[in-house]
Structures are given as C-alpha cells and as structure tokens.
C-alpha cells in the first residue's frame, strides 16, 4: 500500500472509530483522552496510551528515553491546567502526527512550557502512541503552525543556488544551504530563529540562504544532497556552507540541527559565526 492510499485509509479508520480529527484542526479524541488522564494523574490510564510491543519510541530533550520517563514527567508535574496550541494534526506515513505547544499550570502558580511531537496509530483497534518527542522549556521560539511555504514545490533549487552564488560573489558572502521540507517541524523552528534578532544580522551580513527541498519522501534534489555531502539518515534540517563559486566549505555530518527545537540561539550563532567569510575555521 503506497503512502497516499495509507493516509486515506487511516482517516477512514479514524472516522469509523468516532475518534477522528480534521487535518489541521485542534480536535483529536485520543489526545484529549490522554490529556484528561494527565490532568487526573491516572498512571494506569496513561500507561495504556503508549504502545507496548514494540515499545513506543521516546526522545526527551534530544535524548533517547522510554515511555516510563514520559509518563513520570507528566505525573510529577501534577498539572492543574493544560493550555494547548495545536501545531500539526495530520496523517504522515501511516500515523497521525500531532504536534502541540502546551502551557502547563502547576500547583505553585508557575507555568511550564513544553513542545510535544506525538505519533498516534491504531494498534489492535485502539489508538496508541507509537513515538513521542518532547522538548521541555524550549529556548527557541516555537512555530504556532507549519503553514509557511518554506520549500515551494515549484522552486528550482539549482537556479536558486546559481542566483545566490552571483549575489554572494558581489557581496563577499557565502551560501547557506538549508536542506529540508515543509513537513519538517524543526525546519520551521530554524526558520523562525533565522528571522529573529539574534541571528538575522549575522545572516544578512554573511550569507545568502537557499532552501533546498527534499520533498515528501526525501528523494527530491538527490544530486544536490550528494554534491553537498548531506547525510539524510541523520535527519533534517541539515545545513551546508559553500563559497560563492559553489565550493563546499562544510556540511553537517551528525544531525546537529535535526532537533532544532531543543537548541539555543547561541548554539546557532556559534555555527554561523564560525563559518562566515573571512574566518580561518
């Protein structure tokens, strides 16, 4: 079954279960049930939401963890309230991708901010979390949605790189190639950071930025991926810096920005300053 057919089948199953959602909406019944269990402090109910076999994949603040750690986090908070902004709610590769920002009110009157990326799938007729990627107290601004067309489908990356090389040569800049796709949450986080007051001046002074679209299946612009030595198995967004003549200066090899949501503006600035023109590196 190809992924388009799988996505249609997934939403047919969602609708039939009566627990559905509309793509991009704030409504997804399994998540609401999960949230209710968090607010109730119901450990048994919470545990039941995480797939057991194979175990749900969990990453917390960029580190591999397990469902127990995620459950314990929510139980120990003992939240009085959870205000949620839904960033994404749509099918992807046979599951529901549900990304949200949460402002969690706790007993001492303070608020805890969390960004959570949950993947939901029906397992034996029940909705279960098959993966979770949670970021606590994110330091970069998190997008309210993913509607910005960072990677237009009709853009010609080769032409854009050629034009950027010409501008860079005149302005004595380097190229910053950002490999990613519109479906990539961290690509949107990175874009917000690049337009923020900490990083925009560095980029304006030193780089011509080109977004290189990888497409829905990460198969688009494969020749550029090879040319600029981008290891897609390490995740996206992935960055490469090149001279105005196209010569590669450096490309990331270890998925350094793959979890952009958990990075700081200082870490991004360090990379940009290290590889800007005139640096010995």
Digit-coded pLDDT (tens) for 173-211:
999 999 999 999 999 999 999 999 999 999 999 999 999
Region of 128 on the Ramachandran plot (φ > 0 left; ψ -120 to 50 alpha; else beta): beta
In the structure, what pLDDT confidence band is assigned to residue 1 with cuts at 50, 70 and 90?
very low
The model's pLDDT over 214-250, given as tens digits with 9 standing for 90+, comes to: 999 999 999 999 999 999 999 999 999 999 999 999 9
Q: Measure the CA–CA gap between 94 and 72, rounded to whole angstroms.
A: 28
Compute the C-alpha angle 194/199/204, nearest 5°.
85
Please answer whether residues 269 and 202 qualify as being in contact, where contact means their C-beta atoms are separated by less than 8 angstroms. yes
| Residue 27, pLDDT score | 81
pLDDT, residue 278, reads 81
Least confident of 23-37, 72-86, 137-151, 236-250: 23-37
Letter string b/e over residues 45-80, b meaning 16 or more CB atoms within 10 A of that residue's CB = ebeebbbeeeebbbbbeeeebebeebbebbeebebe
For residue 25, what pLDDT is reported?
60
Residue 14 has pLDDT above 60, yes or no: no
Tell me what percent of the residues of the chain surpass a pLDDT of 70. Answer: 90
Q: 280 falls in which pLDDT band (50, 70, 90)?
A: low
Nearest CA among 74, 128, 77, 70 for reference residue 98: 128
Q: Is residue 4 pLDDT above 50, yes or no?
A: no
Residue 19 clears pLDDT 80, i.e. is over it:
no
Delineate the domains of the chain, giving CATH numbers in brackets: 3-136 (3.10.450.50), 157-274 (3.40.30.10)
Residue 26 has pLDDT above 80, yes or no: no
Average pLDDT over residues 9-30: 55
The per-residue pLDDT of the chain, averaged, comes to 91
Task: Average the pLDDT over 252-262 and give the result.
Answer: 92
53: DSSP letter: T
pLDDT band at residue 3 using 50, 70 and 90 as cut-offs: very low
Q: Is the pLDDT of residue 10 over 70?
A: no
- Rg of the chain over CA atoms, in angstroms? 21
β-bridge mates for residue 60, sequence order: 63, 134
pLDDT tens sequence across 153-175: 999 999 999 999 999 999 999 99
């Amino acid at each position: 079954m190809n992924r388009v057919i799988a996505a249609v089948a997934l939403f047919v199953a969602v609708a039939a279960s009566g627990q559905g959602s509309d793509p991009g909406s704030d409504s997804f019944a399994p998540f609401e049930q999960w949230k209710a269990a968090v607010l109730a402090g119901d450990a048994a109910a919470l545990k039941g939401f995480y797939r057991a076999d194979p175990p749900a994949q969990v990453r917390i603040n960029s580190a591999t963890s397990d469902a127990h750690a995620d459950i314990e986090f929510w139980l120990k908070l003992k939240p009085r309230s959870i205000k949620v902004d839904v960033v994404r709610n749509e099918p992807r590769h046979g599951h529901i991708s549900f990304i949200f920002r949460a402002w969690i009110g706790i007993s001492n009157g303070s608020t805890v901010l969390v960004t959570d990326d949950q993947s939901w799938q029906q397992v034996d007729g029940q909705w279960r979390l098959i993966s979770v990627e949670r970021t606590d107290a994110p330091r970069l601004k998190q997008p309210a949605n993913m509607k910005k067309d960072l990677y237009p489908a009709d853009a010609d990356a080769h032409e854009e790189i050629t034009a950027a090389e010409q501008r860079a040569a005149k302005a004595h800049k380097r190229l910053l190639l950002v490999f990613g796709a519109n479906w990539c949450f961290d690509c949107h986080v990175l874009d917000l950071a690049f337009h923020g007051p900490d990083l925009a001046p560095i980029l304006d002074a030193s780089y011509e930025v080109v977004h290189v679209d990888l497409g829905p299946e990460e198969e688009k612009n494969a020749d550029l991926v090879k040319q600029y030595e981008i290891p897609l198995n390490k995740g996206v967004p992935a960055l490469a810096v090149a001279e105005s003549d196209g010569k590669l200066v450096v490309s990331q090899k270890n998925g350094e920005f793959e979890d952009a949501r958990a990075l700081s503006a200082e870490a991004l600035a360090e990379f940009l300053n290290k590889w800007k023109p005139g640096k010995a590196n």
